[in-house]
Structure 1
Amino acid sequence: MSTKRYCYSCDLKNDSKLIAEYKAYHAAGNAWPEITKSIKDAGIVDMQIYLTGNRMFMIMEVDETFDPVKKAELDAINPKVQEWENLMWNYQQELPWAKDGEKWIPLEKVFQL
């Protein structure tokens, strides 16, 4: 099985209390089971989020079944995913160059060893 990597970035609100709460929601075992199920069901085999200051970087490893358009469509009709996303917007903010309502922005690979 071959995998493909997607990388994204998003900012948190620059507030240490909100950042701590966001990290607590994402600590091992704390993400809602419906959210991790929707991630895995979409063909995402590994997902990691890194944080520096209030800027986050997400790395996703996906299998050949992953389709980002289909994932977005499924998320839009999943009430639990929408509840989670609305909750996370309390902590997140758009990057300055994001389009209106755009949360996680794809990263451009500029170097590979």
Structure 2
Amino acid sequence: MKTKRFCYACDLKSDAKLIAEYKAYHAAGKAWPEITKSIKDAGIIDMQIYLTGNRMFMIMEVDETFNSVKKAKMDANNPKVQEWENLMWKYQQELPWAKNGEKWILLEQIFQL
């Protein structure tokens, strides 16, 4: 099976209490099961989020069935995903160069060993 990797960035609000709450929602086994199911159902094999200060980086490994447009439509039609996304906006903020309402920004790969 051929996989692909996508990397994204997003900022959290620069507030230690909010960052701690966000981390608690994402601790092992704490993400809502409907959310992890929607991730897997979209063809995402692995997802990791890293944090430095208030900037996050997400790494996704996807299989050949993954399509970002299809995933966006699936999420838009899933009330539980919408509930989660609305809750996460309490903690997240747009990157300065993001379009209005855009959370996670796809990173451009500029080097590979």
Q: Sort the TM-score into its range (normalised by shorter chain).
A: over 0.9
1:1-113 alignment runs, 5 A limit:
1-113=1-113
Instruction: Give the Cα–Cα distance (whole angstroms) in 2 for the partners of residues 15 and 111 of structure 1.
Output: 32
Instruction: Give the Cα–Cα distance (whole angstroms) in 2 for the partners of residues 10 and 68 of structure 1.
Output: 17
Matched AA of 2:67: D
For normalisation by structure 1, the TM-score amounts to 1.00
For normalisation by structure 2, the TM-score amounts to 1.00
Deviation at residue 33 of structure 1 after TM alignment:
0.1
The aligned length equals 113
Instruction: Give the Cα–Cα distance (whole angstroms) in 1 for the partners of residues 6 and 68 of structure 2.
Output: 10
- For structure 1, the 5+ residue unaligned runs are none
Runs of 4+ deviating beyond 4 Å:
none
Instruction: Give the Cα–Cα distance (whole angstroms) in 2 for the partners of residues 6 and 109 of structure 1.
Output: 9
Instruction: Give the Cα–Cα distance (whole angstroms) in 1 for the partners of residues 25 and 105 of structure 2.
Output: 21
Instruction: Give the Cα–Cα distance (whole angstroms) in 2 for the partners of residues 74 and 100 of structure 1.
Output: 21
Matched AA of 1:34: E
Matched AA of 1:23: K
Deviation at residue 11 of structure 1 after TM alignment:
0.1
Instruction: Give the Cα–Cα distance (whole angstroms) in 2 for the partners of residues 77 and 103 of structure 1.
Output: 18
Deviation at residue 49 of structure 1 after TM alignment:
0.2
**Matched residue SS, 1:101:** coil
Matched AA of 2:112: Q
Matched AA of 1:43: G
Instruction: Give the Cα–Cα distance (whole angstroms) in 2 for the partners of residues 7 and 18 of structure 1.
Output: 23
Matched AA of 1:73: K
- For structure 2, the 5+ residue unaligned runs are none
